[in-house]
């Protein structure tokens, strides 16, 4: 075999191996995501369905069902991707089995011819006679080498047949497992599809009831959004005052640039804290131990009245009654707001970042306290009308909102 052929064979092997590793990695990722979504549905059923339908408002029921529907759709999508990937792998394995069977037939045929030829040679002339009939020692030595090489070749052919058979058995076994996995995924998807259809039917029924009095619900939604916007403005105002205070303390003048937001003036210590907070982006713990995100970050239409657009500066997390609220990172309590009417908010500063926790019933910290990651800072307030325990959680860089899903682990 030439050096060029050897290099080509090595390159082909490496490409094939890389393809197998990539396929396995993709399969593992999909399976991990599928299990996460199934666990999320379990959490939804546990957290959102503790109260009976009669205890919940129609608006809350629609929100809950809307959330479940979206998760189920994602689950079905991921399961379909898994099934399609398995289909491709099954097809590849079937082609490989077909090729191996052909190779095995050729090997067996060649081996049979080799045995017949060997048997005929033994009858016509023994090995000893073949060696003794040599004209000289050199020729006898070459004949001996030929006999040994022929014998080795026979053995190699036999070993290759055994190896191909073992590979064939392994591939067949793998194929059977793949088909079983695919069948199971199809069964799981049918169940998920059925559950999704039931949720959609239930949601439509509730929405039909709401449509009869849509104007009233739309006004309620707008009123609630106004209250949320008011709290958001208060939080932003507190952060802006803290920024101005830090800049004054550092002897910095306000920026004259139009539209440019002010930034915290950081000390060496707070710079280090901010860098550490940023380094943990995507790895921060959840602000509650158990929870599901009922509303995500950004502008979005309301599930009941599509004409109403909601601006969410953070996320709304449904959790257990009396759930403890935890600091997502080391920092200092920037503010604790306790309005005469409404729930409590806590803001924690992490350098030039701020994490905000709203809708608390009670708090365990005061302004200026140093807190550690996962330290309990309060408990979530339970709404007596909707019978829900919802935490509103936000992250800011200076006074600009951030998407918490990018910061919290697997949110």
Q: How far from 97 is each of 83, 92, 102, 107, 247, CA to CA, in Å?
A: 21, 9, 9, 15, 72
Max Cα distance, the chain (Å) = 117
For the chain, give the mean pLDDT: 82
Sign of CA dihedral 343, 228, 241, 403: positive
**Is the CB of residue 337 less than 8 Å from the CB of residue 363?**
no
pLDDT category of residue 207 using cuts at 50, 70 and 90: confident
Nearest to 270 by CA among 342, 360, 330: 330
- Choice among 57-61, 113-117, 282-286 with the minimum mean pLDDT: 113-117
Identify the pLDDT of residue 27.
83
Q: What is the mean pLDDT of residues 5-33?
A: 64
Q: What is the pLDDT of residues 348-391, one digit of tens each?
A: 999 999 999 999 999 999 999 999 999 999 999 988 777 789 99
Decide if pLDDT at 122 tops 70: no
| pLDDT tens track for 245-262 | 999 999 988 776 655 678
Nearest of 203, 197, 198 to residue 62 by alpha carbon = 203
Instruction: Provide CATH 2.70.70.10 ranges for the chain.
Output: 267-406
User: How many residues in total does the chain contain?
Assistant: 411
What is 267-406's CATH number?
Answer: 2.70.70.10
Token reading at 353? 């970042």
Q: Quick one: DSSP state of residue 332?
A: E
3-state secondary structure of 341: coil
What is the average per-residue pLDDT within 293-317? 86
**Domain ranges in the chain with CATH number 1.10.287:** 22-211
Q: Rg of the chain's alpha carbons, rounded to an integer?
A: 35
Per-residue pLDDT at 301: 84
Q: Select the more confidently predicted residue: 49 or 220.
A: 220
pLDDT at 356: 98
Domain over 22-211 is classified CATH 1.10.132 = no
The pLDDT, as a whole number, for residue 381 is 94
Question: Is pLDDT at 275 greater than 80 in this prediction?
Answer: yes
pTM of model > 0.75: no
pLDDT digits (tens, 9 = 90+) for 142-189: 755 666 565 556 667 666 777 777 777 787 788 888 888 889 989 999
Q: How many C-beta atoms surround the C-beta of residue 130 within 10 A?
A: 17
């Amino acid at each position: 075999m030439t050096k060029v052929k050897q290099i080509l064979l090595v390159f082909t092997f490496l490409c094939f191996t890389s393809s197998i590793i990539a396929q396995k990695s993709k399969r593992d990722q999909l399976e991990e995501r599928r299990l996460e979504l199934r666990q999320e549905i379990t959490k939804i059923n546990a957290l959102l369905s503790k109260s009976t339908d009669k205890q919940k408002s129609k608006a809350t029921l629609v929100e809950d069902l809307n959330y479940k529907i979206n998760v189920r759709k994602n689950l079905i999508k991921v399961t379909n991707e898994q099934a399609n990937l398995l289909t491709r792998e099954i097809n590849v394995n079937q082609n490989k089995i077909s090729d191996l069977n052909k190779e095995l037939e050729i090997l067996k045929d060649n081996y049979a011819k080799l045995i017949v030829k060997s048997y005929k040679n033994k009858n016509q002339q023994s090995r000893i006679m073949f060696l003794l009939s040599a004209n000289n020692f050199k020729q006898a030595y070459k004949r001996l080498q030929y006999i040994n090489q022929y014998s080795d070749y026979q053995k190699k052919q036999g070993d290759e047949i055994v190896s191909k058979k073992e590979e064939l058995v392994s591939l067949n076994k793998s194929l059977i497992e793949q088909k079983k996995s695919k069948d199971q995924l199809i069964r799981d998807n049918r169940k998920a599809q059925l559950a999704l259809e039931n949720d959609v039917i239930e949601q439509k029924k509730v929405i039909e009831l709401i449509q009869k009095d849509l104007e009233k619900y739309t006004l309620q939604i707008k009123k609630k959004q106004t209250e949320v916007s008011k709290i958001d403005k208060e939080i932003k105002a507190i952060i802006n005052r803290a920024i101005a205070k830090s800049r004054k303390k550092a002897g910095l003048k306000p920026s004259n640039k139009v539209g440019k937001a002010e930034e915290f003036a950081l000390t060496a210590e707070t710079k280090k804290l901010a860098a550490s907070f940023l380094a943990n982006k995507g790895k921060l713990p959840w602000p509650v131990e158990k929870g599901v995100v009922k509303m995500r970050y950004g502008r979005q239409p309301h599930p009941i009245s599509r004409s109403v657009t909601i601006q969410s500066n953070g996320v709304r997390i449904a959790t257990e009654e009396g759930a403890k609220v935890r600091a997502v990172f080391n920092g200092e309590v920037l503010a604790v707001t306790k309005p005469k009417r409404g729930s409590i908010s806590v803001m924690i500063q992490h350098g030039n970042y701020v994490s905000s926790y709203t809708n608390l019933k009670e708090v365990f910290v005061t302004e200026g306290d140093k807190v550690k990651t996962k330290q309990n800072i309060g408990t979530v307030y339970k709404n007596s009308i909707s019978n829900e325990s919802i935490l509103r959680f936000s992250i800011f860089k200076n006074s600009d909102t951030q998407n918490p899903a990018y910061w919290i682990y697997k949110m």
